[in-house]
Structure 1
Amino acid sequence: MFYFFAIPVVVIFLVKTHFGLLTGLLSGVATLVTEYVLVSWLGGKTMRKQAALAAASGAAEHAQPSADTLALAASLAAPAAPATVDTSVRVWRPTDRYLPVDELPYPIGRRSFDERDNEQLLPSYIGETACFDLIGFALSDNVKREPNAEALLHKQLYEGFREAIGSYLDIETGGDGTPAAMVSFDELAKFPTFAHFRNGSRALLTAAFRSRDAVWGGLRHDGESFRFPLGHLVGIRFMVWVPARGGGGYTVDLVFNVPRKQSALKGPSPYNSFYTGFNLDLPYSELNSFSVFAALTDIALLFDVRARCDTASDV
C-alpha cells in the first residue's frame, strides 16, 4: 500500500519542479489511476487462472474414482455372458423328436427364425441333451407386500410338480452331474436369459426341460433337478379361486394317463384318481392369476401337453 501512493507523490514532486504545481498534481492523479487500472487487470488475470486450475483439479478428482469405489465395483462386477453360444450341440440329430407344438410358429412353438441354427425346429434353448426354458413370474403387486413371495412361489411350484408327478410315476432326482440333471447350471449360464444367475441368488432360478428325444421331461430349481417319463403326463389345469366368502387362491392339477400309485393313496379308495393337485400359497390378484397361468402354459408347451384355466368362487 505504501508503494502504491509513493509513486504518484514522487511524480508530483518531479513535475512540479519543472512545470508547476498544477501540472504536477494532474500528473500524480494520472499516475494513480494508471496504477489502479494496471493492478486490477493483473489481479483479475491471476484470479481467473487460479479458478481454471481449481476447476481442472476438481474435474480430475471426480473423473478418478476413489479406492473404495474401485473396490466396490470390483466386488459387484459379474463376468459378461459369452458373446456366442456353441452351436454344435444345436445341430439337428436323427434322434431329435419333433412334437406337434414344435411345428407351430413362434411364439407358441419354435423360437423366432434368427434364434435358430441349421433350421433346428425344437422349441426353446437347445442343449446337449435337452431343450429348456426359464420359468418366471410377474408378481409386482405381491412382491411389494412380501419381498420373498416370488422365491417362495418358485420353490412351491417345483416341489408341487415333483411330489404330484412322483405319486404317479417313478422320478429321478439329483444335482448337476446326475442323470436327472439333463441341463447343468454351466450350460444354462451360457444363454443370456440365464446368465445373470451366475453371481446372483438362485432362489428365482426355475427351468423346465425336455430331452431332445422327448422321452424325459423335468424341472430344475436352484441346484436340484428331477425328471420323469414324459409320455404319461397329458395335461395341466390351473384352478383360480375367486374371493367370495373366502380370500381366494390357486390350485394346480396334473392329469395323467395312468392311475395313481397304490403307495401314494392317503386312504382306502375304490378307484385310483388320474389327476392330483397342489395349492399355491399366493394371495389372489388378477396379475398373479395371469402370471402363474403364463408360467404353467410355458411348461405345458415345452412338455407338449394341454393346459387350461378354470375359475370358481371361493365359498
Structure 2
Amino acid sequence: MFWLCYLLPAAIAASKVWSDYGALAGLATLVAVPAVQTVLLFWLADRTNGTLATAPANETLRQRLEVPLQVGEKARFKRLFLTDEAEGRREGTRRLYEDLLATIGQYLDVESGGEGSDAAMVSCMDLADQHDATTPAGDSLVVFRSRDRAWSGFRFDDDSFRFPYWSISTIRFTEILPAKGGGYYAVTLEFKVPARNRPPGTSAGAWRSSGFELLFDYSASRSDAVTAAFVEIAGILGAKYEYQSYMNV
C-alpha cells in the first residue's frame, strides 16, 4: 500500500506529461516526482524527531590554539579547561570525569586511585611544574597517555583512572543548538571492543558505543572551549574525533 501511494502520483504525472510532451519528458517526470517526495519525507522525518542536522559529523566549526603537550615522569599529558568561565567549571569538570569513568568502565579494564597509586600516572609534582598560577589547578581535567603508550587516562583533582591505550576508536561531540528547545552538549564514545554486559547472542557491533550529556549549560561563548577540549582529548587517546550539530526544533 505504501509503494502504491508513493508511486501513483509519479505515474499519473508522467502519463499526463507523456501525452502532452512526449516519451522523454514523461520518463523525466517519472524520475523527478519520487525524488522530490523522498526529499520531503526526509525533511518531515527530521522535523518529527525534533532535530535537524546542520553540520556533517567530521566537520569542526571552531579553531583554537592547541594546548601544549607536557611531559611528566610517567606520562605525556594535557591540562584542559572545559570552559573559559570559572563559575560552574569545577562542578562540570567533576561530572565529566565521573561520566568518563563510568562509561569507559562498561567496556574496558579500568584502574582508579588517588595520588601515589598506579593509576595516577600524572603526579601532583608533574602538574606543579607546569601550573599556571592564574588558574586554579582543581578546575582542570588532565588527559594523559603513558610514555610507553600502554595506558591512557584522566585525572581530576587528586583522583585518576587509567585504561589500555588506543582502545577508544571515536569520540563524537554533539552540540545541540537552541531553537524551540534549549541547547546542550553530548558526547558519544565508540570502543574497539563490545560492552561487558552485552547479552549473549547479540551483535557485537551494536554494543560498541555509549554516550552522555555534559553538565555545562549551553552558551555560544562556552561552545568554543568545550569543543576544543574534546579535540585535545581525542588526540591524546589516539581516537578519531567527530563533531556534529543539530537544531533543537
TM class, shorter-chain normalised? 0.5 to 0.7
Q: Is the 8 A contact 1:127 1:183 kept in 2?
A: yes
- Match 2:133 to one of 196, 211, 214: 196
- Match 1:217 to one of 146, 152, 157: 152
Is 1:162 aligned to 2:95, yes or no? no
Q: Is the 8 A contact 1:218 1:227 kept in 2?
A: yes
Root-mean-square deviation (CA), in Å?
Answer: 2.4
Is 1:279 aligned to 2:222, yes or no? no
Query: Number of aligned pairs?
Result: 183
In 1: Cα distance, 2:236 partner to 2:222 partner: 22
In 1: Cα distance, 2:139 partner to 2:128 partner: 14
Q: Is the 8 A contact 1:217 1:230 kept in 2?
A: yes
One-letter code aligned to 1:129:
K
- TM-score with structure 1 length normalisation? 0.54
Structure with more contact order per residue of length (Cα contacts < 8 Å, sep ≥ 6): 2
In 2: Cα distance, 1:126 partner to 1:201 partner: 20
Is 1:130 aligned to 2:65, yes or no? no
CA gap 1:129/1:251 in 2 versus in 1, 3 angstroms:
same
What are the superposed Cα offsets for residues 11-57 of structure 1, whole Å, 9 maximum, x if unpaired? Answer: xxxxxxxxxxxxxxxxxxxxxxxxxxxxxxxxxxxxxxxxxxxxxxx
Match of 1:289 in 2: 223
CA drift at 1:139: 3.5
Q: Secondary structure at the match of 1:165?
A: helix
In 1: Cα distance, 2:194 partner to 2:148 partner: 25
Q: In structure 1, list runs of 5 or more residues that go unmatched.
A: 1-106, 112-123
CA gap 1:291/1:201 in 2 versus in 1, 3 angstroms:
closer
In 1: Cα distance, 2:230 partner to 2:236 partner: 10
CA gap 1:139/1:125 in 2 versus in 1, 3 angstroms:
closer
| Structure that is richer in helix per residue | 1
In 2: Cα distance, 1:128 partner to 1:282 partner: 33
In 1: Cα distance, 2:201 partner to 2:178 partner: 32
| Structure that is richer in strand per residue | 2
Identity of aligned residues (%): 35
Q: In structure 2, list runs of 5 or more residues that go unmatched.
A: 1-64
In 2: Cα distance, 1:157 partner to 1:281 partner: 8
In 1: Cα distance, 2:221 partner to 2:171 partner: 20
CA drift at 1:270: 4.1
In 1: Cα distance, 2:243 partner to 2:132 partner: 32
Match of 1:260 in 2: 195
In 1: Cα distance, 2:84 partner to 2:72 partner: 29
Match of 1:184 in 2: 123
Q: Secondary structure at the match of 1:308?
A: strand
One-letter code aligned to 1:133:
K
In 1: Cα distance, 2:235 partner to 2:84 partner: 22
